Structure 1
Amino acid sequence: MEVVIVPTERVGSVGADIVGSLVRRRPESVLGLATGSSPVAMYADLIRRHRDGELSFADVRAFTLDEYVGLPADHPQRYRNVIARDFTDHVDLAPNAVHGPDGLAADIAAACTAYEQAIEDAGGVDLQVLGIGTDGHVAFNEPGSSLASRTRIKTLTRQTRLDNARFFGDDVEQVPVHCLTQGIGTIMEARHLLLLATGRAKAEAIHQLVEGPVSAMWPGTVLQFHRHVTVVVDDAAASRLQLADYYRDTLADKPAWQQH
């Protein structure tokens, strides 16, 4: 696991460097896209690079991490609409290149199975973008989730709904109770995981993710077992890391031949 600690204003650009490097090396890459506040600055930087002619997503395919169950197709907080608004509508991704779990499916279990199959048929995810919740959840894998879980329906914790109420007029009762989410086992099959976090509210979750014991109570900790994880955080999110100075030294002395 590589831990990159940078000023807040650089978290998005460092993430964009990593995504951009992959897309230039492998134009037909499969990206895993996260919603939420953590990757917004990165998406804005990628959009700028695309508009400046530095980057094309024409041959890229993408899969989103999760989706609320039951939100109407035109609801502004439906994650398919959020990712379009934040990123995909502003670059040259092909019209049918972005796929997400179907939160309006009549048969939820079948929809989850079909989503797993679609990822497999695409050859798997090359780079999965992630955020982390204040309670350590990744995607919507809440504390207590199986560390081998696959795409499925989950009940959101009260804390997650409170955290997301800001997107629903600060009314927690408007936040759906259920979601579809890629499982931790699904996420762990991506070839590279890129997790972004900023702010002191994420400090304990980042401490547990990087330095804590692996536990279903902090689902993100299972990323310690992944072969290629990059964690990009600002100083506030890194404030609980016991080895923060070592991570800074490691980054400063990183061999030039090592890729992202």
Structure 2
Amino acid sequence: MEVVVVPTPEDAATLVADAYAALLRRTPAAVLGLATGSTPLPVYRELARRHRDEGLSFARARGFLLDEYVGLPTGHPERYREFIRTELEQHVDFAPGAIVGPGDLDVAPLEAGPAYEQLIREAGGIDLQILGIGTDGHLAFNMPMSSLSSRTRLKTLTPRTRHDNARFFDGDLDRVPTHCLTQGLATILDSRHAVMLGFGRGKAQAVREAVEGPLSSRWPASVLQLHPHATVVVDEDAASQLAFTDYYRTTYAGKPVGQGL
């Protein structure tokens, strides 16, 4: 696991966008794992800028979402598929139908997980998976005590998660879905390169446990310790509880020129 400490989320966006650009130049038909929420937004905005100003193309790439609510109609503003459409897809040149989420499949929710896993396998697997980390260490909707060997599946949202997400539904808890579909932790481990972002002091404990703590389902993001190519990019606040920051800075500064993340 490589840990990169940067001053701001915007600095992280530049680094991660560099990784996307290098991948797309090397493999134009790359398969991208797409996270939602505020954490990856600076990256998506930088990718949109590079498409607009520098010609970075996604025309042959494919995208797979990390997760999705169950029960929200197509086009609902809080669907994660809609988030990706408005924050990334409509600003670049993905081909029609190139992005799919686990809630887009014409199957029952209990069947969606295995069907989604099959789609990812048929695409050749995910080349670059972007991730955010929750304050409790969750990845996607893999909350604390999720199985470290889990695959894409239907999950029941916890009362805490629904309460936290009610702000996106005008504060009305009754409008928050009770179930979701999420890639599993083992699915995430199958990606060729996983990039986890963490910003702000509120993420500091979760980042510390994920990076320097023991492997534990209590902190699901710690599963990335098993990933053969995991990169953690955090700002100064999110890195504030790490014990080995000097080591991370030294090793990153000493990387061969042009190696990238």
TM interval, shorter chain, is over 0.9
Judged with a 3 Å threshold, the aligned counterparts in structure 2 of structure 1 residues 6 and 174 are, in CA distance, closer, same or farther, namely same
Name 1:125's counterpart in structure 2.
126
- Alignment partners' CA distance in 2, 1:65 and 1:88: 15
Name 1:6's counterpart in structure 2.
6
Task: Quote the offset at 1:174 in angstroms.
Answer: 2.9
- Alignment partners' CA distance in 2, 1:126 and 1:77: 27
- Alignment partners' CA distance in 1, 2:42 and 2:171: 22
Task: Quote the offset at 1:53 in angstroms.
Answer: 2.9
Task: Quote the offset at 1:190 in angstroms.
Answer: 0.5
Instruction: Assess if the C-alpha contact under 8 Å between 1:32 and 1:62 holds in 2.
Output: yes
Name 2:147's counterpart in structure 1.
146
- Which segments of structure 1 move beyond 6 Å, counting only runs of 4 or more? none
Task: Quote the offset at 1:159 in angstroms.
Answer: 3.2
Question: Deviations 1:10-40 (Å, cap 9, x if unpaired)?
Answer: 1222211111111111111000000011100
Task: Quote the offset at 1:176 in angstroms.
Answer: 1.7
Name 1:210's counterpart in structure 2.
211
Name 1:101's counterpart in structure 2.
102
Name 2:156's counterpart in structure 1.
155
Question: Deviations 1:80-126 (Å, cap 9, x if unpaired)?
Answer: 10111110111000011001112786621222211110000000000
Question: How many positions carry a matched residue from both structures?
Answer: 260
Identity, % of aligned positions = 58
5+ long unaligned stretches in structure 1: none
Name 2:68's counterpart in structure 1.
67
Judged with a 3 Å threshold, the aligned counterparts in structure 2 of structure 1 residues 204 and 231 are, in CA distance, closer, same or farther, namely same
- Alignment partners' CA distance in 2, 1:191 and 1:75: 32
Instruction: For residue 128 of structure 1, give the secondary structure of its aligned residue in structure 2.
Output: strand
Name 2:116's counterpart in structure 1.
115
Instruction: For residue 52 of structure 1, give the secondary structure of its aligned residue in structure 2.
Output: helix
Q: What does 1:210-249 correspond to in 2, within 5 Å?
A: 210-249=211-250
Name 1:184's counterpart in structure 2.
185
Equivalent AA in structure 2 for residue 95 of structure 1: P
- Alignment partners' CA distance in 1, 2:81 and 2:70: 12
Instruction: Assess if the C-alpha contact under 8 Å between 2:39 and 2:197 holds in 1.
Output: yes
Task: Quote the offset at 1:139 in angstroms.
Answer: 0.8
- Alignment partners' CA distance in 1, 2:175 and 2:202: 23
Which deviates more from structure 2 when the two are superposed, residues 177-186 or residues 162-171? 162-171
Task: Quote the offset at 1:219 in angstroms.
Answer: 0.7
Q: What does 1:243-258 correspond to in 2, within 5 Å?
A: 243-256=244-257, 258=259
Instruction: Assess if the C-alpha contact under 8 Å between 2:19 and 2:260 holds in 1.
Output: no
Instruction: For residue 54 of structure 2, give the secondary structure of its aligned residue in structure 1.
Output: coil
Instruction: Assess if the C-alpha contact under 8 Å between 1:135 and 1:143 holds in 2.
Output: yes
TM-score, normalisation: structure 2: 0.95
Instruction: For residue 153 of structure 1, give the secondary structure of its aligned residue in structure 2.
Output: strand
Q: What does 1:38-53 correspond to in 2, within 5 Å?
A: 38-53=39-54
- Alignment partners' CA distance in 1, 2:34 and 2:241: 27
Which deviates more from structure 2 when the two are superposed, residues 70-79 or residues 41-50? 70-79
Equivalent AA in structure 1 for residue 78 of structure 2: Q
- Alignment partners' CA distance in 2, 1:104 and 1:159: 28
Instruction: Assess if the C-alpha contact under 8 Å between 1:70 and 1:104 holds in 2.
Output: no
- Alignment partners' CA distance in 1, 2:129 and 2:242: 23
Judged with a 3 Å threshold, the aligned counterparts in structure 2 of structure 1 residues 87 and 186 are, in CA distance, closer, same or farther, namely same
Instruction: Assess if the C-alpha contact under 8 Å between 1:33 and 1:63 holds in 2.
Output: yes
5+ long unaligned stretches in structure 2: none
Name 1:34's counterpart in structure 2.
35
Judged with a 3 Å threshold, the aligned counterparts in structure 2 of structure 1 residues 67 and 16 are, in CA distance, closer, same or farther, namely same
Instruction: Assess if the C-alpha contact under 8 Å between 2:133 and 2:198 holds in 1.
Output: yes
Name 1:80's counterpart in structure 2.
81
Instruction: Assess if the C-alpha contact under 8 Å between 1:132 and 1:138 holds in 2.
Output: yes
Instruction: Assess if the C-alpha contact under 8 Å between 2:105 and 2:112 holds in 1.
Output: no
